[in-house]
């Protein structure tokens, strides 16, 4: 079932009020379960429309320390990037983009297929 933009923004705002990566990540994953057409890129676009201080970055998976791996949302394949949530605004996001040697446009594209760190498979 497709979620409305208002419902997405309401759920993101509620998660942001906790100011934790876990709350925001969980809200996005739950919305992806409810509406499989959503991606981390669509959430990043909503955060920008909301003028939020939360930024989503696609961190290169090869920077993860073993034994962690970036996995697709269904847990069946590894991905080249993993979700990185910046809570401290644009300056933190810019620092991450510089560190990961990517542009905002490249980041948005990478967020389309971005994975998550999984210790066990997740069911959507």
- The verdict on residue 35 lying in a domain is yes
Q: How many domains does the chain have?
A: 1
- The verdict on residue 123 lying in a domain is no
- The verdict on residue 40 lying in a domain is yes
pLDDT digits (tens, 9 = 90+) for 12-68: 999 999 989 999 999 999 999 999 999 999 999 999 999 999 999 999 988 887 767
The three-class DSSP label of residue 52 is coil
- The verdict on residue 83 lying in a domain is yes
Q: CA 102, CA 58: separation in Å to the nearest integer?
A: 9
- The verdict on residue 91 lying in a domain is yes
- The verdict on residue 122 lying in a domain is no
Please identify which residue in the block is written with the tokens 């993993």: 82
Q: Tell me what pLDDT residue 61 has.
A: 87
Element (H, E) at 35: none
Q: Tell me what pLDDT residue 74 has.
A: 77
Those residues with Cβ within 8 angstroms of residue 7's Cβ, 6 or more apart along the chain or in another chain: none
| Domain carrying residue 44 | 5-117
Q: CA 11, CA 6: separation in Å to the nearest integer?
A: 9
- The verdict on residue 124 lying in a domain is no
- The verdict on residue 107 lying in a domain is yes
pTM of the model: 0.88
């Amino acid at each position: 079932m497709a979620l409305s933009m208002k419902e997405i923004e309401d759920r993101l705002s509620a998660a942001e009020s906790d100011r934790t990566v876990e709350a925001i990540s969980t809200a996005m994953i739950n919305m992806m379960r409810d509406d499989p057409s959503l991606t981390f890129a669509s959430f990043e676009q909503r955060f920008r429309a909301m003028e939020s201080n939360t930024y989503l970055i696609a961190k290169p998976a090869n920077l993860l320390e073993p034994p962690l791996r970036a996995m697709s949302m269904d847990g069946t394949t590894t991905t080249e990037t993993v979700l990185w949530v910046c809570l401290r605004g644009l300056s933190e996001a810019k620092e991450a983009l510089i560190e990961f040697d990517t542009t905002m446009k490249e980041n948005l594209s990478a967020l389309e297929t971005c994975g998550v760190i999984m210790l066990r498979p997740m069911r959507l």
